[in-house]
Structures are given as C-alpha cells and as structure tokens.
Amino acid sequence: MQVDVFEMISQFLWEALFAAGLYKLFSKCGKKGWWALVPGLRYLRLGECAGKEREGRALILLDISSIVLTAAFSLMNQDSRSALLIEFAILAAAMMKIGSTIRIYTGLCRVFDRKNGWVAVWFLFSTLAALVWGFSPKFQPVHRELWNDDGNDMDAGYNPAFLSVSEQDELRYDGIPLSEGLHINIRERSVRDLAKKRYLLKDIRLAIPEGSLVLLLGGSGAGKTTFINAVTGYEKADADIFLKGKNVYENYDELVHKIGMVPQQDLLRLNDTVIRTLEDAALLRLPSSVHYKERNQRIDEVMDILGLAAGKQGLVSKKSGGQKKRISIGTELITDPDLFILDEPDSGLDGVLARELFSKLRQIADQGKIVIVITHTPDRVADLFDKVIVLARDSGRVGRLAFYGSPDEARAFFGRQTMEEIVMRVNREQEGGEGKADEYIEAFAEKRAGGSSEEKTEADNEA
C-alpha cells in the first residue's frame, strides 16, 4: 500500500511539473497558460506553438479513439476475430500518435530554432524538456511566422495579422457615385472549421469605375478566386457589393445575368459551329421575352466585336486556341454584362495572340463595361489596363488588399517596374518572394487613410 501511495504522489508531481513547464511555454507563444492543466487539450495548444495545429487536433481524436477502442476490447471475447481487429486498430492509433507527436516536437525545434536532437528529449523526457523550454529565458520562439506555415493551407487563416492602421467601417468609394461602377466592401470572407473561424479574405474595399480594364494580381493562395466568387455573389461573404447602385447579394437573381464569368478552361462543344455555339448561348442566357430578331442582332454584334464573323460556319474543333478563347468569351458576352470577369484567358497563348485577345477585352471595357482579368503573364499587356488590384496573404495567411490603383501608381508604390516583380514583393519567402506582404498591406492602408482624411478636410473646407 505504501508503494502505491508513493507511486501516486510521484506521478502527480511529475504531472504537475509537466503542466508547469507547458504553462510557461504556452505563455511564451502567446497562448493562455491554463490549457496546460487540461490533459489532451494541452496538445492542441502545443501543436499551435509548433506550427502544427493539425497534428494537435489529430492527437485529441486519436486519444479519444484509443479510449473507446480499449473499452470495447475489454468488453468482448478477446479471442474473437473482432477483438483482433480492434487490437490492431489500437496499435495503429498508437503508431499514428507517435508520428503526430514527433511532428509536433520537430515543429517546436523549428519555431524555437533548436537542434532536432531535442525531439528525442521531448519524446523520452517530456517533463524535463517542458521545464527547460518553459522556464529558461534562452528558449524563445524565434520563427513565429511558422505558426501559420506548416505547409498545409487548410490550417491557414486562423490568426489574421494585426495592422496598426485599419480603414474605417464606412464604404470607401474613391469619389465614384454609388449609382455607378462596382463598389466592393468585403469585411471578411470566412468559413467554420469545427468551432473555430478561419478567415479567407479580410478588409478589402475599393470602387471600380465603368469602362475599366482591371488586372487582378496575387500569388498562389492570395485569394483571387475567393475574391471573385465573393464579388459575383457565387459565394457570399460578409460584404456589401454594389453594381450600378444595386446590391448584388440582395438582387442576385436579377444581376446574375449582368455578370459574365469566363473560366480558365474552355467549356465548348467541339463538334458545333461557331454560330451554333453562340445561338445556343443566346437561347439559354437571354430572357425568353427577347425577340429572335433582337437575339440575332446581339449575336452579330458579339461576333463583330470578337472578330468571329468570318469563320462563323466553321467547327469549334478546327479553331486555334486564341479563337476558342474568343468563342468562350462570346458565350458570356452575349448577355451584354456590366461586369465581365476572366480567369487566365491568355493561358496557352503566345504573345501575339494574347495581345490580340486583350485588345478585344480593351474594346469591351471601352463600351462602358467593367472587365476584371486574372493572368499570370501580365507584363506583355500591362499597358492596356486602367487599374491594378494586388491581393496578398498576410503573416496569418489571410487574403488582404495590398494595393489598388493605376499600373504606374503600382510601380511607384512597390518600387518595381514589372507586374511580376510586384507580385514577388508580397509573395512569401517560401515561394521565392520577398515576404513583405504585411509591410505593403499596412502601407497601403496608411496611404488610403491619409488620403481619405485629406479628401474629407478638403470637402469640409469647400462646404
């Protein structure tokens, strides 16, 4: 009995010391220390400190699974086939727990800039490691950026970067009347991961005048597609989106016909002729109240704009890549949209064909339309654009607005001469960029806040 009491006291002391070490460690990582007192859940916070939140969640689920499987194993005939399967499942869960634990300890070594030999110390002598790392002032998280960078995009966006300057909640319309153009105020676009909110976009406010050809820039994962889906109403955000004075979300059924979207991949029936393809698009997309003469007139107008009239009887399959892309554009342009969005329309096209295609888009914009284009080769046609939107992921890996203005203003703001160099300014270092997203996001917020204040003061003086 004395031995049992001694073992219980010893185990309690070791547990208390382990919790004390984790308490101090969590505090260094900016986490609430009391999580160290909760068995199981403490590994979730330890995973966050290591930039391995996914592994921390996995450990909790594996612990629960092990408890349930062990209880089931004890209640059945241990010589049965089912018991053998459960025993195998318990062993598999234990192996997975070991793998997740090692990845967390390895992540801790990266964040605290310590040699990987500490992984063995953590694994074999976890209480000692927790005390040393928690109480020694020499052990501090050096690479904090790794808390949001474990290589898994599904774990991004939980902690948006804090900016010392933020825009006011009111809509910023850059002097453009609400009844004109496209007004975007995305407060946030988020999703729920279990009980936790994950941000995809945050604080994006701008206004685009009619007759604008707009370049949408941003590195991989910056939120370009999410931004487009939020603007078009395909995936609603916490936002106010106005197209020519009408709220897109509140009037979606009406405005969906005034928004054209051309995806990267051509969705065409190759065995149809060009004219048949456009006729079918007109029948499907134009209201049934439109008279056939008016419908045919619209088809002729689209073919003239895109240069498709001469070969309208030819099969789509016989057309070049550039011509197919123009046909795809034509199927969306047939409704005469006010907002036209294209995702990499020049993909696979050489410089001459790309230039020709973008010249057509320039003509469409000049008719009073708003045309937004995503392209990974912007510099060969940069002179055709009126505006540039630059999205970037902050250190919390949340899509934010890093710039909006003319191409010349963008070059001056970023101190670079090409659009591709501008993207590299805000791309993460892991992607070959300069990793200055937070710097430029905040600088642009300061620029707009200052500009807005000046405009307000000027307006007050005039009043």
pLDDT of 404 reads: 95
Whether residues 91 and 237 share a domain: the answer is: no
Is the pLDDT at 88 greater than 90? The verdict is no
Whether residues 188 and 305 share a domain: the answer is: yes
Task: Identify whether 165 is part of a domain.
Answer: no
d(CA 205, CA 210): 17
More confident residue, 354 or 432: 354
Task: Identify whether 167 is part of a domain.
Answer: no
d(CA 404, CA 64): 49
Task: Identify whether 384 is part of a domain.
Answer: yes
Whether residues 151 and 188 share a domain: the answer is: no
More confident residue, 300 or 183: 183
Task: Identify whether 169 is part of a domain.
Answer: no
Give the residue from 89, 120, 155 where a domain finishes.
Answer: 155
pLDDT of 452 reads: 45
Residues 6+ apart with CB under 8 A from 224: 216, 218, 374, 391
Written as six digits, the tokens of 382 are: 């940069």
Task: Identify whether 418 is part of a domain.
Answer: yes
- CATH code for the domain of 326: 3.40.50.300
Q: How many domains does the chain have?
A: 2
Output the CA–CA distances (angstroms, integers) from residue 253 to 239, 335, 370, 401, in the order listed. Answer: 17, 14, 20, 28
Q: With bands split at pLDDT 50, 70 and 90, how would you rate the model's confidence at 462?
A: very low
Structural domain boundaries enclosing 301: 182-462
Whether residues 343 and 239 share a domain: the answer is: yes
pLDDT tens digits, 375-430: 888 998 999 999 999 999 988 888 999 999 999 999 999 999 999 999 999 988 77
Whether residues 408 and 262 share a domain: the answer is: yes
pLDDT of 152 reads: 47
How would you class 430 by CB atoms within 10 Å of its CB: exposed for 0-12, middle for 13-18, buried for 19 or more? Answer: exposed
pLDDT tens digits, 299-335: 888 888 788 878 878 888 888 777 787 888 888 888 8
Highest-scoring range by mean pLDDT, 22-26, 100-104, 417-421: 417-421
Task: Identify whether 295 is part of a domain.
Answer: yes
Whether residues 241 and 383 share a domain: the answer is: yes
Whether residues 418 and 354 share a domain: the answer is: yes
Is the pLDDT at 170 greater than 50? The verdict is no
Whether residues 316 and 403 share a domain: the answer is: yes
Whether residues 221 and 322 share a domain: the answer is: yes
pLDDT of 425 reads: 92
Whether residues 142 and 224 share a domain: the answer is: no
pLDDT of 10 reads: 78
d(CA 45, CA 199): 19
Give me the chain's average pLDDT, please. Answer: 82
Whether residues 331 and 397 share a domain: the answer is: yes
Whether residues 375 and 452 share a domain: the answer is: yes
Q: With bands split at pLDDT 50, 70 and 90, how would you rate the model's confidence at 145?
A: low
Is the pLDDT at 357 greater than 70? The verdict is yes
**Lowest-confidence region among 9-23, 101-115, 225-239, 281-295:** 281-295
DSSP string, 167-187: --SS---TT--TTSSEEEEEE
pLDDT of 291 reads: 80
pLDDT of 460 reads: 39
